[in-house]
Structure 1
Amino acid sequence: MVRPKVVIARHLREEVMRLFDRPDLDVVAWPSETEACDRNWLLNNIAGATGVLVMLTDKVNAELLDAAGPTLCVVSTMSVGYEHVDVQLLARRNVKLGYTPDVLTDAVADISVMLALMAGRNVRSTTNIVQNGDWPNYPWSPFGFCGPQLSTNWIHSTRTMGFIGFGRIAQATLKRLVPFGFTHCLYASNPSSLPNPTRDAEVAQKYGLREVRRVALDELARESDVVFVLAPGGPELYHIVNEQFLKQMKKTAVLVNTARGTLVDSEALAKALREGWLWGAGVDVVEGEPKVAADHPLVKEPRCVVLPHIGSATTETRLGMATTAAKNLIAGVLNEPMPVELKMTQ
């Protein structure tokens, strides 16, 4: 009996790779965890494969599918996003797609709150002062190094969180902000989805908020003390945060993007920070990443914290993602229900 061939485009640590130690699979794996899979290696080895497990850095396009041939029936990606996958092409060729959405919810929510705190409290610029040995040049002063407080306080008894996108990660972030004393939640979501005031009222009651309300982007920008960009990517949402949006934000507000770099116009955000339209920003994703050098407009802005896309980078989360991706691949190849399959239409 011919065993189905599966190709794995990255080493996933021994505890995950052991899942492939089975007599009913012929496994071909890229040997390195840290070094990206060579494209030519992948194209050469995927020939005749039934399934392939890829990373965000591996383009799943006509070139790859043609190299695999008609035997390919499943692609498994170790990611929640699938911009690197030609979904329509997979649908036309009846190739299933597995992905890993739920595993990273808590990790990304954690880092979203972290970035809000870092941006508001000037962590980047003040850390640089210490690292550059300049602290002695900054004698203590009553309002030195000050920034806006995230939590409610004697000046601001109400705080409003705003979300562009209100899915799992947004609601996990909301949950983390409640202990800071936030009282209001505004969100903007897909215009094609119907408003759900009953759900909103239930969320408000669950977390003791005065309101949870769906609003237009303009109101979200004007009223929010911190805006979290947590929408999916896609051409219809390209640069949804632009000059028009940023000009309406409070001067004390903070913008956080832990979703997709293409959702925020980097040039517009850099300009907004320079001219004081908002207080600060924290981004874990940047359009064009990883080609983000020291001269990038956001990197040059002292009130912008830029992280190299580490939202899911906890050991527990990445092991969970890798395990889900492996199980998706194995189940798909053996014609069993995949733990998490993206339902596609042609």
Structure 2
Amino acid sequence: MAMNAARLRKIVVCKDLGSAMPLLTERDDLEVIRWTEDRPCDRAWLLENVVGASGIVVCFQDQVDRELVNAAGPSLRVVSTISVGYDHIDLKVMAEHKIQIGYTPDILTDAVADSAVMLALMASRRTGETTSFVKNNQWPVFNWMPFAFCGPQLSTTPFSPTRTVGFLGFGRIAHAVLARLAAFGITHCIYTPRPGAAPQPARDAQLQARHRLAALTPVDLPTLARASDVLFVLAPGGARTRHLVDAPFLRQMKATSVLVNNGRGSVVDSAALARALAEGWIWGAGLDVVDEEPEVTAAHPLVGEPRCVVIPHIGSATLETRAEMAGLTAQNVLAGVLGEPVPVALEYSALI
């Protein structure tokens, strides 16, 4: 028994994968150590238990840095994160040790795109204000007026036949959002791609034709700010994108524009956005991510803004999507510890 145990490949799981866990726990060639408490994985526990591990399952709350990799030792082959983001993983350290990174893109594209459109509608139609109005028993004494609780319409109308949607970051999720907005009669699409991304005129022409747009155009940041009726922030986090949406950017936006952030909270300066909403630089905002998360309480300046809808980073939170993400996370770590190519691996060399 001791000899068999010595040959077991060790996997440390920082987040329970639900129905996908048997993919790991029912194998007799693996030793699976799980963090079972209903709170973020304790760092001291992780550093103690990761020693000798071949694979680690993490989420965005778990920092994968030099300290963790050194604690694991030379046996570590793969880190599998149940997320599309990888801000919590030190890519340079991964490269030094030739460790594969498994992640879960594509699976969550549709769920996040759905939530982005939801937030655009909620922010433009003042859902935060109106739901509070009902919950606070104000409806029975409300004196209706023709323009009470009105907001800008997302769809085009005969009297307003042009709508421009903007994207900061124009990847898979942005394309899925655009596909959904086509039904609203969006006529123009503009975007600022990720820093360093190559132009893709053929792709843009195809998207323009598919969604029957009058134009689909890459633009610089000032033009993106000035021209967008609705701006979707879908850029990755990190130093290169931190606070791209700041006070000077927000001051250029239309007073009737809506900002939606389903990307990374760090891209938007919270203090600047709170001021923009309070002083009417823009109409409203819908946020699935916030720079300071998870330390976002009722005292946070954005939570108190009537025209800001804040939800707690749940863009991919559908039963179907989370189950698929968990399954892929398990498959990624399993392949890595067995010395096989990870099914969905982050090609991170170009990102360093």
TM category (shorter chain) comes to over 0.9
- Correspondent of 1:8 among 10, 13, 24: 13
Query: What residue identity is the alignment partner of 2:96?
Result: R
CA RMSD of aligned residues (A): 1.2
Q: In the alignment, does 2:119 pair up with 1:115? A: yes
Counterpart residue number, 1:241:
245
Counterpart residue number, 2:172:
168
Structure 2: unaligned runs, 5 residues or longer: none
Counterpart residue number, 2:107:
103
> How far 1:191 moved relative to its partner?
4.3
Counterpart residue number, 1:68:
72
Q: In the alignment, does 2:195 pair up with 1:188? A: no
> How far 1:139 moved relative to its partner?
1.7
Q: In the alignment, does 2:39 pair up with 1:31? A: no
Q: What is the aligned residue count? A: 344
Partner of 2:21, secondary structure, is helix
Query: What residue identity is the alignment partner of 2:318?
Result: T
Query: What residue identity is the alignment partner of 1:160?
Result: T
- Correspondent of 2:344 among 337, 340, 343: 340
Partner of 2:71, secondary structure, is helix
Query: What residue identity is the alignment partner of 1:42?
Result: L
> How far 1:251 moved relative to its partner?
1.0
> How far 1:214 moved relative to its partner?
0.5
Counterpart residue number, 1:274:
278
Q: In the alignment, does 2:297 pair up with 1:293? A: yes
Return the TM-score normalized by structure 1: 0.97
Of the structure 1 ranges 124-133 and 55-64, higher mean CA displacement relative to structure 2 is found in 55-64
How far apart in 1 are the matches of 2:99 and 2:341? 14
Q: In the alignment, does 2:288 pair up with 1:284? A: yes
- Correspondent of 1:319 among 314, 323, 326: 323
How far apart in 2 are the matches of 1:144 and 1:288? 33
Structure 1: unaligned runs, 5 residues or longer: none
Of the structure 1 ranges 188-197 and 200-209, higher mean CA displacement relative to structure 2 is found in 188-197
Query: What residue identity is the alignment partner of 1:31?
Result: T
Return the TM-score normalized by structure 2: 0.95
Q: Where do 4+ consecutive residues of structure 1 move more than 3 Å?
A: none
Q: In the alignment, does 2:71 pair up with 1:49? A: no
Counterpart residue number, 1:152:
156
How far apart in 2 are the matches of 1:70 and 1:337? 18
Q: For the Cα contact (< 8 Å) 2:170–2:194, is it kept in 1? A: no
- Correspondent of 1:203 among 207, 216, 221: 207
Query: What residue identity is the alignment partner of 2:270?
Result: S
Partner of 2:108, secondary structure, is helix
Query: What residue identity is the alignment partner of 1:271?
Result: R
How far apart in 2 are the matches of 1:12 and 1:175? 31
Query: Percent of aligned positions with the same letter in both sequences?
Result: 55
Query: What residue identity is the alignment partner of 1:7?
Result: V
How far apart in 2 are the matches of 1:176 and 1:96? 34
How far apart in 1 are the matches of 2:195 and 2:264? 19
> How far 1:61 moved relative to its partner?
1.3
Query: What residue identity is the alignment partner of 2:39?
Result: E
Query: What residue identity is the alignment partner of 2:235?
Result: A
Q: For the Cα contact (< 8 Å) 2:17–2:330, is it kept in 1? A: no
Partner of 1:102, secondary structure, is coil
> How far 1:198 moved relative to its partner?
2.2
Query: What residue identity is the alignment partner of 2:210?
Result: K
Partner of 1:5, secondary structure, is strand
Partner of 2:304, secondary structure, is coil
> How far 1:329 moved relative to its partner?
0.2
Query: What residue identity is the alignment partner of 1:46?
Result: V
Q: For the Cα contact (< 8 Å) 2:274–2:301, is it kept in 1? A: yes
Partner of 1:237, secondary structure, is coil
Query: What residue identity is the alignment partner of 1:226?
Result: V
Counterpart residue number, 1:22:
27
Query: What residue identity is the alignment partner of 2:307?
Result: R
